[in-house]
Structure 1
Amino acid sequence: MFKILRMGCNTTHDNNFSVNRLNGYQWCLLLLVKSPAVFIINGKAISTPANTLIIYDRNYPHQYRANGAEYKNDWIHFEFDSGFFNEYLTMLNTPLYISNHYYISDLIQKMANEFYSNNSYKEQTIEYLMQILLIKAKEQMEMKTFQTKQSRIHDELIKLRSEIYSNPRNNWSIALMAEKLHISCGYLQSVYKNTFFISCMSEVIESRITYAKELLIESELPVGEISNLCGYQNEVHFMRQFKKLTTLTPTEYRRLNSKLGK
């Protein structure tokens, strides 16, 4: 069971803001701090960038302050039973930089919308949203606590990857993708592969073949037209790449998988 007691989004304080609760709370506190801050953990001061998440355990000291700028955070006071949180105990009382902070902040806002609503199933909805938040935070923790250099463009990389799959017909090139992210071609290739474990141009090919499979299954379009819709100017090149990735020609793939007439 998971239960929110109080919560708020985008709460702001001036640059002199500080908290010093030596005994913490009798419940847990989640903070997504959207400004630079300093946390005192086990007597050690840790300076953190904007978009840092911390989940304080019950009765754990809360010591944190603004760091040279207006302080802003999302916050949740909550209770839980032992079965709900056991998998995530390693995340407690540890500042964690969140590269996909828009995603996490959106989850918190969705929880607030439910918490302050009269929806019939708001408790279940909030619990599922919190589970998603914890899974994403654990995923981030396993990528290491602070990865500020790479994480600065993490959201943009995700947007780029989504755009590649949404628009496989585009005339994608490394130079075009690097320009979109305002980084060098070399850095794009390095950071993309380190993030998604595939090169950016291999991703383009994957997106085109994925779309080709869909068109072959769902339509009666000629292979040449499908080739064009998937961003290929040369049908022979398309057929070679398709067979390389699937071991089948487009015609063979259609014959084995087509839904038409079934």
Structure 2
Amino acid sequence: MTHIYYVECNVSHSNNFVIDVPNGYHWLIVITKTPAKFWVDGELKEYPAHTAVLYRPNQKVYYSACTDQFINDWMRFETDAPYITESPLPFGKPFSVNDPNYCQKLFELLSIEHHFNRDYKKSSIDFLLRTLFNKLMESYFHGDISPQYYNLLEMRTRIQNNPGDHWTVSKMAAHLRISPGYLQNVYKRTFGISCMDDVIDNRIRLAKEYLLHSNQSIAEIASQCGYQNVEHFHRQFKQITGETPREFQKKDSI
């Protein structure tokens, strides 16, 4: 069972902010949005934004601001859940978070569940905490994360959410303030797919939804998915799925 004492999301502090508890709290999770200093292995070290730390009960806790502002998500709690108490995550050792926006949403939901007395509060908190720890383990085993990674991740999220926008390599590179050649190289190295192939895959994914669940014409769907030329849409759709849009629509409506 898990009991949350306090949880806050996106909390801002001044540049003199310090947490110093020599004998520790209960369990504590901290995820920073700004650079910060942490006491690690007997010395104070500076870590970049999007750093997570898990403290076990009675472990020394010390962290502080190191820029004009300190922003973080944090939660203090007690638990006997094995997925936490036996977690492979290190205690008191900072590591980079590979999807900070996702983790922030989980903190937001945990905060809501904590402050409202709802019928399924305990199970909802447990599911959210399990998901948070899954994301933290993904981050920990992800390896080194460069500062550029977060900009690329933000770009990829925008592509996935809005594949119908007018995406081009030059437009994406300009947004990230890097060269088109470097973007293509680093994007594929990071996500295992080229940026334009990612755009196309997400456009076709969206087109499939419209073909199956809307009454729009194929030309309208092509336009919604970012294609100015319906013949080009037909070619790309068949290249990826092996079927024309009409064949896909008819087969899946049977």
TM-score > 0.5, shorter chain as reference: yes
> Equivalent residue for 1:97?
96
What SS does the aligned partner of 2:88 have? helix
Pair 55,257 (structure 1): closer, same or farther in 2 beyond 3 Å: same
User: 1:216, 1:7 → 2: CA distance?
Assistant: 43
Q: How does 1:24-173 map to 2 (within 5 A)?
A: 24-25=24-25, 27-85=26-84, 88-144=87-143, 146-165=144-163, 167=164, 170-173=165-168
Identity %: 36
Q: What amino acid maps onto 2:5 in structure 1?
A: L
> Paired residues, what number?
254
> Equivalent residue for 1:5?
5
Q: What amino acid maps onto 1:22 in structure 2?
A: P
Q: Deviations over 1:10-37 (max 9, x none)?
A: 5555434434433323x21111233322
Q: Deviations over 1:104-137 (max 9, x none)?
A: 2332232222212222322222222222221122
> Equivalent residue for 1:240?
235
What SS does the aligned partner of 1:186 have? helix
Pair 152,215 (structure 1): closer, same or farther in 2 beyond 3 Å: closer
- 2:73, 2:107 within 8 Å by CA — same for their partners in 1? yes
What SS does the aligned partner of 1:88 have? coil
User: 5+ unaligned residues in a row in structure 1: which ranges?
Assistant: none
User: 1:231, 1:120 → 2: CA distance?
Assistant: 44
Pair 222,7 (structure 1): closer, same or farther in 2 beyond 3 Å: closer
- 2:33, 2:71 within 8 Å by CA — same for their partners in 1? yes
Pair 52,225 (structure 1): closer, same or farther in 2 beyond 3 Å: closer
User: 2:203, 2:10 → 1: CA distance?
Assistant: 40
Q: What amino acid maps onto 1:23 in structure 2?
A: N
User: 2:195, 2:92 → 1: CA distance?
Assistant: 37
Pair 243,153 (structure 1): closer, same or farther in 2 beyond 3 Å: same
What SS does the aligned partner of 1:139 have? helix
> Equivalent residue for 1:255?
250
What SS does the aligned partner of 2:87 have? helix
User: 2:9, 2:27 → 1: CA distance?
Assistant: 17
User: 2:157, 2:97 → 1: CA distance?
Assistant: 16
* 1:196 and 2:191 correspond: yes
> Equivalent residue for 1:21?
21
Larger radius of gyration: 1
Q: What amino acid maps onto 2:200 in structure 1?
A: I
User: 1:193, 1:230 → 2: CA distance?
Assistant: 22
- 1:164, 1:204 within 8 Å by CA — same for their partners in 2? no
Q: Deviations over 1:142-200 (max 9, x none)?
A: 222x52422341452233222443x2xx4432112223334332232233223332111
- 2:29, 2:75 within 8 Å by CA — same for their partners in 1? yes
User: 5+ unaligned residues in a row in structure 2: which ranges?
Assistant: none
What SS does the aligned partner of 2:89 have? helix
**TM-score, normalisation: structure 1:** 0.81
- 2:152, 2:187 within 8 Å by CA — same for their partners in 1? no
